[in-house]
């Protein structure tokens, strides 16, 4: 019997019409287990024993992004943070919150955010990403910025 993780990986790859390979499955399993977006470096550190070649990780992430399986959630400290797109809609990513005090990043799933309005003619929106900054619940009570 296949594990639940392995079935989820298979479903994701099927939905993107991608063949199952070792590196693809390994990277998806890291992303599935993460509760926040990860940098390429964090994914590579996680998989150092499985995928020693960082170029493989870079290329696999790029192909996941092209297939729409993975989104670049945001850029922070000059590094893109990647996550599965399964909690995003076609036109909108779920918002992300960064705490200015402790640096924690939270995925805000289930919040509703209106799509931007009043754009001039000729602009076509592919996806809206919202990023919030402030204090997380553990820091909020202690400090005033």
Q: Of 12-20, 22-30, 60-68, 98-106, which segment contacts Zn ion by CB under 5 A?
A: 98-106
* 128 makes contact with Zn ion (CB under 5 A): no
Nearest approach, Cβ of 136 to Zn ion (angstroms)?
3
> Rounded to whole angstroms, what are the CA distances from 87 to 25, 35, 49, 109, 122?
19, 11, 29, 7, 29
Cα gap 23→120, rounded to integer Å? 43
Number of residues that bind Zn ion (CB under 5 A): 11
> In this complex, which beta carbon is closest to Zn ion, that of residue 102 or of residue 125?
102
Nearest approach, Cβ of 116 to Zn ion (angstroms)?
16
Nearest approach, Cβ of 52 to Zn ion (angstroms)?
28
Question: Are residues 43 and 57 in contact, defined by beta-carbon separation less than 8 angstroms?
Answer: yes
Helix, strand, or coil here: 59? helix
Of the chain, the end-to-end C-alpha distance in Å amounts to 53
Q: Which of residues 25-84 bind Zn ion (CB under 5 A)?
A: 71, 83
Name which position in 102, 116, 119, 125 contacts Zn ion (CB under 5 A): 102
Question: Are residues 93 and 37 in contact, defined by beta-carbon separation less than 8 angstroms?
Answer: no
> In this complex, which beta carbon is closest to Zn ion, that of residue 37 or of residue 47?
37
* 107 makes contact with Zn ion (CB under 5 A): yes
Nearest C-alpha neighbor of 93 from the set 120, 132, 41: 132
Q: Of 2-10, 14-22, 103-111, 114-122, which segment contacts Zn ion by CB under 5 A?
A: 103-111
Task: Provide the angle, in degrees to the nearest 10, between the axes of the packed helices 4-15 and 22-33.
Answer: 110
Binding site residues, Zn ion, CB under 5 A: 71, 83, 85, 88, 93, 99, 101-102, 107, 136, 139
């Amino acid at each position: 019997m296949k594990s639940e993780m392995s079935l989820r990986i298979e479903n994701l790859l099927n939905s993107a019409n991608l063949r199952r390979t070792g590196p693809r499955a390994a990277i998806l399993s890291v992303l599935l287990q993460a509760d926040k977006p990860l940098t390429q470096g964090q994914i590579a550190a996680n998989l150092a024993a499985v995928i020693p070649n960082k170029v493989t990780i870079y290329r696999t992430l790029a192909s996941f992004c092209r297939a729409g399986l993975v989104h670049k959630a945001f850029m922070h400290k000059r590094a893109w943070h990647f996550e599965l797109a399964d909690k995003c809609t076609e036109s909108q990513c779920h918002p992300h919150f960064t705490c200015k005090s402790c640096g924690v990043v939270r995925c805000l799933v289930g919040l509703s955010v209106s799509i931007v309005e009043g754009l001039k003619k000729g602009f076509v929106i592919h996806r809206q990403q919202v990023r919030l900054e402030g204090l997380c619940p553990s820091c909020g009570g202690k400090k005033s910025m």
